[in-house]
Chain A
């Protein structure tokens, strides 16, 4: 046994998690001592905390390497996902502060829960060990379950939280069962160790394959991949709009980080047994998501199905099982984060108090009531369609390029055709906003709050920058991607 006590540089490597936890705890304390009028301080504190966590992430990256007996691995890959989830948290805070005020629910616990959820996701991003992955996943999930039901007087919020909780726990159980199985087979929970054992080939591949399948099921739940996607539409529809935005990006990005790390590192040696599984799930997910989205009339539900479809595209890159594939996943998640958070933020704004206007038809003629916000939503929708000069386009491009590199020709063709189908339902939102005359729903549209505007414009700039200068991010992910 070498150095049992962690060194100081190992603490620096978990600096972002430490900062996030401390700020979260601080907010819990302050919540108890503030009066109703002072509740507005939580959002700024959270923003400062997130900025601190970002700085901590870079500090950790200045000193990369394993920490705590290889439980965590701070490398480019982990740093990218840490920055991503913290950035998502930042945008989520900005787009929810106005919403909470409008719904008269300005408690500090919202921000504390958000921070705890981010702690979990940040751990997931850097975990290199199955127990650690499980811990991160649970921290993130439990906080998210509560967030989904945050407006506790609202029946839909309750339904959403309960569904999310039950199905999420179910999924975690699968994951844990898979962890137990692989431990029994290889005698280790460390990803690098498992890889070495499997490389030796002494262990029966079938047993490891079953473990891989169980872990995949658990993670497929988290990223809402078919056939485990059924919870997503109900949860996203029922949860408060800014929370849906957060749930559709943050936990998903972290789950994809785990998926890549577990399957490319630990299960890399048995890739021939899991690639067909991912192949099938990717195709099913894209298809189910897109075709179900066509039928939706509620925008939140539509975006939920769209996010299922996008998980399918990302799984195409996972199936590529290559450095290019892992880079493509990272780039796509970044582009998707900006796009989806932005889209949900505009929906939050247009939905107004009590989320009264969330049907597609309620968006009639909104381009004439608030041209700027409608234009921003158009940018996000074009990015979701995959029109050039937006991040979504390059994301798709890199994914399908990686897939073709790995000779997944049919999956590429079917995926691209899928994205053409998807254009239809995104266009429907554009149609109502631009081509229809304003109706009753567009009366009395209040001006957008400052924080929300920052979130929307920031996301739009991010989407366009990733679409016009993709190299800025791409050069990093190509280096940092798992090989």
Chain B
């Protein structure tokens, strides 16, 4: 039993335990469970400390789950998954804290589903068996479906069903591709398939590779979500309860970008290279489109949701730049987006709890009755638009640098997104927080409570920390990305050489 096993299984046990605890104490128990899991997950950092890069996977465990076809419980941790796991364990207690008052009915089930979601999310990031990965991928879908459907707003049912069906439709194609890979390689094991690919034992003609690449790509692109497959996201976000929005935006969307990097790019480098211009085009379209649509949203949550479409376009662009800076930026930006968008959704949730409206027009002058809330919101807004010394700046900068190394024109168009994000975020901030407080605003709005401070301050600390001390986070990521790029470019050059030879 490694520490990673414990971190992975603790949420499942927590979920089962929550089903049997008395209703009144459910949220307290859920909080304690999630904090314990978070504390344990910090221990996962040990092998990566001090610039050390473990050889292979840390905390690796490879046991037979099903003997035939050979499906293994193969889990491990590398520089790519490390921070995403910690992001999931870190945000779960915060999501519980900010639901403390917000969730009034059926509390027990709510917290149980939240913890079950954590189980699925951690599992996705640590699986090194394609089949196991698929299992977790689908398992994470179920709790989110219930979180949106039961505790969401008016159109929650539509949003929950749309969310489920979109993801399901994408992932069945991925399943077909996984089975096809197994039939060719005789294994579901990620490292085994990879070594077969590298040794040339397993190879696909360009056409097959492209089809397989696309089957994975569509599943991940829906999850990211990449323009034009993003339409489920605004619905899901607007309707989800605060905690659901936080987990969805901060961690769940990263399943898509993580999958792009871990599976699409690494397993099918040639197809990834050849389709990179198209994907970068979609990413840039998403960056600009998301920003433009965000600008005209009257609903705060929808605005933040569209800003996510824009921000995740950056991540995809970074991945498909195939440069060290681009990849580093992409992974770093996954974390940044998790922190700052999570914080934005939390703050919007705080406002909603006070005023029971998500319309920007229902606010105005909030800074007067709630100066602290306004200050915190401002810091988060600035982080989100990429102000230097705050976290997003680093990620966006690295991505733009990587993109410009690949094709300068990509960086030019993508930077439009940075400018636009300043417009829509600051404009929203101005309309909601400045001006004269109306009667209803000053009547309903009060400043942050201690519990809310507790929930938001870890995020604020991280925004600054990640913006200044990048060295605390980047080394394991960079080391992993260097390995990825080495492999990907190697196979690429081999493919080019093979083409030149005859």
Contacts and interface: CB of A to CB of B under 8 A. Distances in A.
Contacts of A474: 66, 68
Interface in B152-192: 156-157, 160-161, 164-165, 168-169, 172-173, 175-176, 179-180, 182-183
B67 interface: yes
B75 to A, nearest CB: 16
A412 interface: yes
Interface in A186-217: none
B66 A434 contact: no
A19 to B, nearest CB: 34
Contact of B66 (A393, A400, A470): A470
B66 A389 contact: no
B179 A400 contact: yes
B330 to A, nearest CB: 28
A471 B157 contact: no
A364 to B, nearest CB: 12
Given A417-B172, A475-B68, A397 B179 contact: yes
Given A434-B146, A435-B156, A471 B176 contact: no
Given A419-B172, A420-B172, A435 B179 contact: no
Contact of A416 (B138, B157, B165, B176): B176
B197 interface: no
Specify the main secondary structure of chain B where it touches its partner. Answer: helix
Interface in A413-436: 413, 416-417, 419-420, 423-424, 427, 430-431, 434-435
Interface string A362-395: 0000001000000000000010010111000100
A405 interface: yes
Contact of B176 (A385, A400, A435): A400
Contact of B149 (A387, A400, A417, A434): A434
B183 A416 contact: no
Contacts of B156: 435
Interface string A470-483: 11001100100000
A191 B182 CA distance: 35
Given A387-B139, A434-B149, A405 B173 contact: no
B139 A389 contact: yes
Contacts of A431: 149, 157, 160-161
Interface residues on B, range: 20 to 34
B179 A387 contact: no
B68 A478 contact: yes
Given A400-B176, A420-B165, A474-B66, A434 B150 contact: yes
Contacts of B66: 469-471, 474
A404 interface: yes
B67 A471 contact: yes
Contacts of B145: 427, 430
A424 B150 contact: no
A173 B183 CA distance: 42
Nearest to B172: A416
B183 A404 contact: yes
Contacts of B161: 424, 427, 431
Specify the main secondary structure of chain A where it touches its partner. Answer: helix
Nearest to B148: A435
A421 to B, nearest CB: 8
Interface in A430-481: 430-431, 434-435, 469-471, 474-475, 478
A252 interface: no
A401 B179 contact: yes
B141 interface: yes
A435 B169 contact: no
B163 to A, nearest CB: 10
Contact of A423 (B69, B134, B150, B165): B165
Contacts of B496: none
B129 to A, nearest CB: 13
Interface in A270-294: none
Given A400-B175, A420-B172, A474-B68, A387 B138 contact: yes
B135 interface: yes
A393 B160 CA distance: 21
A431 B164 CA distance: 12
Nearest to A416: B172
Given A416-B176, A435-B160, 4 more contacts: A393-B138, A417-B172, A420-B172, A435-B156
Leading 4 A-B pairs by shortest Cβ distance: A416-B172, A388-B135, A420-B169, A435-B149
29 contacts: A368-B106, A387-B139, A388-B135, A388-B136, A389-B135, A397-B175, A400-B176, A401-B183, A404-B176, A413-B173, A413-B176, A417-B173, A423-B164, A423-B165, A424-B161, A424-B165, A427-B145, A427-B164, A430-B145, A430-B149, A431-B149, A431-B157, A431-B160, A431-B161, A434-B146, A435-B149, A435-B160, A471-B68, A478-B68
Interface of B: 66-69, 106, 134-136, 138-139, 141-142, 145-146, 149-150, 156-157, 160-161, 164-165, 168-169, 172-173, 175-176, 179-180, 182-183
Interface of A: 368, 382, 385, 387-389, 393, 397, 400-401, 404-405, 412-413, 416-417, 419-420, 423-424, 427, 430-431, 434-435, 469-471, 474-475, 478
